[in-house]
Amino acid sequence: MCIDCGCAGPDPHHHHDEPQLGKTVRIEEDLLAKNDRLAAGNRRLFDGHGLFVLNLVSSPGSGKTTILEKTLGDLKKKLAFAVLEGDQQTSNDADRIAATGVPSHQINTGAGCHLDAHMVGHGVEHLDLAGTDILMIENVGNLVCPASFDLGEDFKVSVLSVTEGEDKPLKYPQMFRASDVLLINKIDLLPHLRFDLEKCKEYARRIHPGIRILEISCYSGEGLEPWYQWLCEQVARKKAAQGK
């Protein structure tokens, strides 16, 4: 059972009574408390290496892997990257990242709809953290469950493509409230769509007034430079804070 998605199996004839609800809430609290403890351990590990860590979250097909490919290809001579790839099945995305020459490790969650701190803690055992500046974690495509699970990252980065809909921040407020950065992706397609860019930004800021919004296109390259500059600044800030 996923704590954010309800019952393990859809049964239209099953009704929860109050004791079951109370038990579910206690399980949720226990799971999140355990995850937070493990996330704190991850964070201590990352901080000890002066490692800047991002948790990339989005719905499926928003372009997270393409953003990673483009970012790694353009910045890997300037920054030392490592990538954790989260998917329910297959190593397709990790294979794409491996083709860039950047170290990566695939985490398959099976029926799970998100990564958790335990998975990440074991996943990074396959990576050389001492030789890494920035760890990018590509979470499972899902705008609900990953919002609740701290992985030990510095920031959550939401990716929303213009092929989805400008009202996504209103429909999935918890995710956008938990995110520090919003990448509005595939803006090269705007002339062919009815996506209202300004409304999307307004909705995102209504949910999270301080969210940083960057508009990008991996196809045209538009908006990538501010994204790269932000990454470099954050890596330098993290290393300075840890005395690295």
At residue 92, the pLDDT reads 86
Domain of residue 186 covers 18-241
User: Does the residue 10 lie in any domain?
Assistant: no
User: Does the residue 90 lie in any domain?
Assistant: yes
CATH code, 172: 3.40.50.300
Sequential pLDDT tens for the chain (244 residues): 454 454 344 444 444 444 566 666 666 677 889 999 999 999 999 999 999 999 999 999 999 999 999 999 999 999 999 999 998 888 888 899 999 999 999 999 887 889 999 999 999 999 999 999 999 999 999 999 999 999 999 999 999 999 999 999 999 999 999 999 999 999 999 999 999 999 999 999 999 999 999 999 999 999 999 999 999 999 999 989 888 7
Residues present in the chain in total: 244
**What is the number of structural domains in the chain?**
1
User: Does the residue 216 lie in any domain?
Assistant: yes
At residue 222, the pLDDT reads 97
- Cα(100)–Cα(69) distance, rounded to whole angstroms? 7
